Amino acid sequence: MGRLLLAAVAAVAIFFLLRTLLGKRKLSVAQFFALYAAALAVVVLIGLGLTGRLHPVTASLGVVLAMFVRALPVMMRLFQAVNLWKTIQAALGLASVQKGPKSGGKSQIESAFFTMTLDHDSGELDGTIKKGAFQGQLLSQLSRDALLALQAEVASDIDSSELLNTYFERYHADHASGAHAAQDPSGDMNRAAAITLLELGANPTHDEIIKAHRRLMQIHHPDRGGSNDMAARLNAAKDRLLGDH
């Protein structure tokens, strides 16, 4: 009974000590209690060491560590899948995204040209082409040259273009510059492509161009979770159309 009372007093003392020491730091409740739990664990380990009872705890920790090592590959694959999913979501902005990654399943993303599938366990990304010259084929079946041709074909659809960029950079990183070159925003963008990209009518006014550019940049600006590539393309489209006025 005395030991339990002493432990309770120590736990309360550590709680208030941490509140005092961390009071000026902007920590969430979860962060504070994570630190509190870590501090309690350290105190418990020190107490067990001083009383000669640490050996059984060490053995238990060894079992837990072995289980963790076995689970680590699965955890790493799931972590990679989550990171890839966040990259895709950031690239697509408001695109249609279904369930996020969970171990043991798959997630799908739909765009005008693709049905993309992410395997949560392996981290593999692939896509079925829904229309166009490569309709019915998988991205994984296409050569680099075919992917570059597809890049040009889907350039008018922002979501599809961003999905293909993500796939290309993941599986053809050594040639990624080639994919970007196919749609280099610094190159010559024709008027039709610029109008399509900014979602404008055939003969937009100066104000319509500015408003369309501003609206799309609010979605695709890197500071808002968009990509540098899409922001550069939007800027190039605006400059191309304003050059006609």
Q: Tens place of pLDDT for every residue, the chain, 245 residues?
A: 666 777 778 778 888 887 777 666 656 677 777 777 877 777 777 776 666 665 665 556 555 655 655 665 666 556 555 555 665 555 444 344 444 444 456 777 888 899 988 776 676 889 999 998 899 999 999 888 788 778 878 887 877 888 888 887 778 765 544 444 444 444 456 777 778 778 888 788 999 999 999 988 888 787 777 677 778 888 888 998 998 76
| Residue ranges of the chain assigned to CATH 1.10.287.110 | 184-245
CA 72 to chain centroid = 21
Distances (CA, A) of 161 to 19, 69, 140, 157: 50, 39, 16, 6
pLDDT of residue 96: 40
CATH of 184-245, one of 3.40.50.12280, 3.30.70.141, 1.10.287.110, 2.60.40.10: 1.10.287.110
Here the tokens at position 240 are 């191309």
- Whose tokens are 């380990």? That residue is 45
User: Of 44, 73, 78, 75, which Cα lies nearest the Cα of 61?
Assistant: 44
> What is the pLDDT at residue 52?
66
Q: What is the pLDDT of residue 98?
A: 44
pLDDT at 101: 46
For the chain, how big is the Rg over CA atoms in Å?
27
Q: What is the pLDDT of residue 146?
A: 84
Asked if 135 contacts 154 with a C-beta cutoff of 8 angstroms, the reply is no
Which pLDDT value is given to residue 224? 73
Q: What does the pLDDT read at residue 182?
A: 44
Query: Quick one: pLDDT at residue 55?
Result: 61
**How far is the C-alpha of 7 from the C-alpha of 19, rounded, in Å?**
18
3-class secondary structure, 19: helix
Ramachandran angles phi, psi of 117, nearest 5°: -125, 130
User: Which of 229, 214, 140, 222 has its CA nearest to residue 183?
Assistant: 229
